[in-house]
Amino acid sequence: MSNIRQAFENGKAFIPFITCGDPDLETTKAAVLEAVENGADLIELGIPFSDPTAEGPVIQGANLRALTGGVTTDKIFVFVEELRESVTIPLVFMTYANVVFSYGAERFLSTCRRIGIDGIILPDLPFEEKEEFLPICRKYGVDLISLIAPTSANRIAMIAREAEGFIYVVSSLGVTGARAEIQTDLTSIVAAIRENTSVPCAIGFGISTPEQAKRMADIADGAIVGSAIIKFLEKYGKDAPHFIGEYVKSMKDAIR
């Protein structure tokens, strides 16, 4: 059984997203440790990319700050290896297919296995093209996490049946970023997922308040938050981890 299952074994999961190296890897480590201490069940670690097509301006900014600061995939691998000395909850990378492809998929995923990464999310990898990476992911025991969006419609069952780790349900059309209101009929999407798999699902994109997190966790098995956390890093820089810890606690308390 995948380590990722552990994130969903104690009630609803809260999953924060943090871009590695924004503003530096020391701050990323402090932010992750604060998130874990305050109830995060799984952490999504973003590997920065120059053209993050799924991201809104907030996370685009984080990617730019991290890359400008000199972060590299190799530095992130070393960072995760050190992080694993004290962090036991599941960790997944979120990045883009070109990052894995240009590094060399075999080399990238074998390193993920060695340093303790449990899964990988590639938002620009269509379901129909996942065979390019799936066999290598399976070889090294790294779950290739599927995304299901409001536009998935008649593909939901097909994606759900082959899903691993957890399913990332995209709440809204468009890119990442906080939204005042989420109007997608997520209940029917999650119902279709549950008819086809026992793999847990968590909703992301647009969630920023404890009330929204609770609504999403009531529908699904967990809530994912990125932009709202990155805003603390944008505003407070190296002082952000303390604020991130308080925020994670408020979100986790809301979905318990």
Q: Give the confidence band of 179 by pLDDT, cuts at 50, 70, 90.
A: very low
For residue 100, with 0-12 CB atoms within 10 Å meaning exposed, 13-18 middle and 19 or more buried, which class applies? Answer: buried
* Percentage of residues of the chain with pLDDT beyond 90: 86
pLDDT single digits (tens) 75-100: 999 999 999 999 999 999 999 999 99
CATH class of 12-248: alpha beta
pLDDT at 182 over 60: no
Q: Which has the minimum average pLDDT: 12-16, 147-151, 172-176?
A: 172-176
With helix as H, strand as E and coil as C, how does 214-247 read?
HHHHHHCCEEEECHHHHHHHHHHHHHHHHHHHHH
pLDDT at 54 over 70: no
Tell me what the mean pLDDT of segment 105-124 comes to. Answer: 97
Greatest Cα pair distance, the chain, in angstroms, is 45
Contact 54, 124 (CB under 8 A): yes
Q: Give the confidence band of 102 by pLDDT, cuts at 50, 70, 90.
A: very high
What average pLDDT does the chain have? 93
Q: Where are the alpha helices (DSSP H) in 84-200?
A: 97-103, 105-115, 134-139, 156-161, 186-196
Structure pTM?
0.94
Q: Which has the minimum average pLDDT: 4-8, 47-51, 133-137, 143-147?
A: 47-51
pLDDT at 126 over 50: yes
What lies within 8 Å, CB to CB, of 63 at 6+ separation is 19, 22, 46, 48, 49, 50, 52, 55
Question: What pLDDT, on a 0 to 100 scale, did the predictor assign at position 181?
Answer: 54
Whole-number Cα distances in Å, 99 to 15, 36, 108, 183:
23, 27, 9, 33
pLDDT at 178 over 60: no
Tell me what the mean pLDDT of segment 28-55 comes to. Answer: 93
Domain ranges of the chain: 12-248
What lies within 8 Å, CB to CB, of 193 at 6+ separation is 148, 156, 160, 167, 169, 201
